[in-house]
Chain A
Amino acid sequence: MEITCIACPLGCAIKVTLEGGKVVDIQGATCKRGEEYAKLECLSPKRMVTSTVTLIGSPLRRLPIKTEHPIPKSKVMDVARALLGVEINAPVSIGDIVAENICDTGVNMVATRHALAISTKNEAIN
């Protein structure tokens, strides 16, 4: 498997050879960090997903959200699709769960911004 290392700007092209689900050879990594990355990326690639959902009853229109932990790469587009059309009521605080166990990944989607409800004073303190 060909992997581009993302651990530093050098971007080494690393070749990982798998046999029966086990790594037997790694070529092309300039450093240890790259070997570790390539191994992980081959055996169980994971990604954070960040997106937004519609906010109701807030001066803000969109609520930014993220997966609480990285999820398998193969599920990323399922999660993105599942979030289209989701609506959330204000107020919301950072860390609030927006969707539980998204797409059966065992990972929750959480809010990444505070959103006050519309009636709350949103002006400057002085």
Chain B
Amino acid sequence: MKKVDIVIIGGGPAGLAAALGAKDAGIENIIILEREQYLGGILNQCIHNGFGLHVFKEELTGPEYAARYEERVKQAKIPYLLNTMVLDITRDKKVMAVNRDGLLEIKAEAVILAMGCRERPRGAINIPGRRPVGIYAAGTAQKFVNIDGFVPGKEVVVLGSGDIGLIMARRMTFEGAAVKAVVELMPYSGGLKRNIVQCLDDFGIPLKLSHTVTQIKGGERLTGVTIARVDENLKPIPGTEEDISCDTLLLSVGLIPDNELSRNAGIALSNITGGPVVDESLQTSVEGIFACGNTLHVHDLVDFVSAESEQAGKNAAEYVRGKRPRPDGGITLSTKGGVRYAVPASIDPGNVSDKIDIRFRVSNVFKNRYVAVYFDDTRLKRHRRLILTPGEMETLTLTKAEFEKYPDARSITIALEE
């Protein structure tokens, strides 16, 4: 059995940055395992621009951003295997993978999970009617068009107004399709304003807020959908139905961290984020197994994926070298008042070198609120924000000095306040 210090599962932006972080921290014996025939992960299908403003201070497309990290990994001579699918990880950090050469077994000192996320399966949304050909998850359609060169239809309706759905509305328009409408259940869009303006408004594509698809029509192939307005309880209002003919329905209804492997390894998962519960080191409930990127929680900006993952790589390296003891306990981090979740779930101040970034999301659109941080019942600080939306991940930084002010704190709470 091959022995490696750190195995990284997934060669997307998270895996690549984690590898660079680990190498920087002095670990040489690393391997990245990637099931596709190329590195870079999902970014290769995100051909639009808007990536890299934080990391590279310029606006890149997804493939360009991926190529820069790929280049760095090659320059650092970090080994990787393509076309290699990881099948199983165990609690004692044995990794089993398969590729053209057969089965591969690796014993690792530390494992970094960087498998990315998946789209919610279409069974997860309830639409009556049959399931004719022509219904795709938006990200799958993005892969068809941008990687495989197959345009799935001519007349399109998009259900869900997350960024991937908006981007695909424009993409299908460029490929000559007519995009009839983007239908959104909520009274607000989950996507960026920029994408609403540049992907819908620019092309006169209507955004139907507080609407949903109530009927799917067609035999073999989709021929149309019925949409209807919904009330405050998100229930369709009778009499508001409208028929739209289309041969393609794209579902942009959300992403969930991919954690089949984590589940099999007995790693504790959060039922809010869908990702592993981690401590300040981004270490999961299984010692020596770390998680980062979309496997940990769904990110909207790849720049934050890179930053977080580089840190995970460094932490794993310190763990391998015995410099990062596993905390027993630590301060638990919880949320309330409109904050849906925060990562990490606990913090051992002893492992915070100078500061730690806490990422969180809110559950609704909030205007003019304070983001407040409490150590036990004492408010440490609060910042006023003009707007917070569920679509944008927020970051909050706690410094070593702040932890030192409250040496006996048992809990930290993040809350929104008027």
If A50-B48, A122-B37, A126-B79 touch, whether A9 touches B392 (CB-CB below 8 Å) is yes
Instruction: Indicate whether B146 reaches chain A with its CB closer than 8 angstroms.
Output: yes
B145 touches A10 (CB 8 A): no
B163-206 contacts to A (CB < 8 Å): 173-176, 192-194, 196-198, 201-203
B64 touches A48 (CB 8 A): no
Docked Cα-Cα span, A86 to B97, in Å, equals 39
B80 touches A124 (CB 8 A): yes
Fill in one digit per residue for A68-105: 1 if any B CB lies within 8 Å of its CB, else 0. Answer: 00000100110011011000000000100000000000
Q: Which residue of B lies closest to A62 (CB)?
A: B149
Residues of A close to B64: CB separation below 8 A: 94, 112-113
B36-55 contacts to A (CB < 8 Å): 37, 44, 47-49
In this complex, how many residues of chain B approach chain A with their Cβ under 8 Å: the count is: 42
Q: Which residue of A lies closest to B193 (CB)?
A: A11
If A6-B197, A9-B192, A113-B44 touch, whether A61 touches B387 (CB-CB below 8 Å) is no
Docked Cα-Cα span, A62 to B63, in Å, equals 12
Fill in one digit per residue for B237-271: 1 if any A CB lies within 8 Å of its CB, else 0. Answer: 00000000000000000000000000000000000
- Distance between A40 CB and nearest chain B CB, rounded to angstroms: 13
Q: Which residue of B lies closest to A51 (CB)?
A: B174
- Distance between B176 CB and nearest chain A CB, rounded to angstroms: 6
Docked Cα-Cα span, A50 to B174, in Å, equals 9
B193 touches A124 (CB 8 A): no
Residues of B close to A9: CB separation below 8 A: 192-193, 387, 389, 391-392
A59 touches B47 (CB 8 A): no
If A9-B387, A94-B64, A94-B67 touch, whether A47 touches B202 (CB-CB below 8 Å) is yes
Q: Beyond the given A10-B386, A47-B198, could you list 9 further A-B residue pairs with CB under 8 A, ordered by the A residue number?
A: A4-B196, A6-B198, A8-B193, A51-B47, A52-B146, A113-B67, A124-B83, A125-B79, A126-B79
Residues of chain B having any CB pair with chain A under 8 Å: 37, 44, 47-49, 59, 61-64, 67, 74, 79-84, 145-149, 173-176, 192-194, 196-198, 201-203, 367, 386-387, 389, 391-392
